[in-house]
Amino acid sequence: MKVTIELPLENYDQLLHKCETSSPEFSVLVNGCIDRRPIGDHVERIVQILCETEQALGLLSRATRDCPDAIAAIKQALRFPADQ
């Protein structure tokens, strides 16, 4: 089943920086798309990552070790799978 993870750009960068380029998590992260969303008087940049549930679980494991701020977004994506 597919899930869509939406990470703030800062969390995405932190998570990506901790991954080896040969890791499965790196491959999933680099396929994310950056989206800009207006939030009040500023624009927030979000990275949308469409992946399989197993891949999201791998990212959750990595986030647990290296980027605790990304955990909530990954868990939310796992609770609400994508419609695709």
Binned at pLDDT 50, 70 and 90, residue 80 comes out as confident
Average pLDDT, the chain: 93
pLDDT of residue 67: 93
pTM: 0.89
What are the phi and psi torsion angles at 27 (to 5°)? -60, -40
**Residue ranges per domain, the chain?**
2-79
Read off the pLDDT of residues 30-56 as tens digits, 9 standing for 90 and up.
999 999 989 899 999 999 999 999 999
What is d(CA 68, CA 84) in angstroms, rounded to the nearest whole number?
28
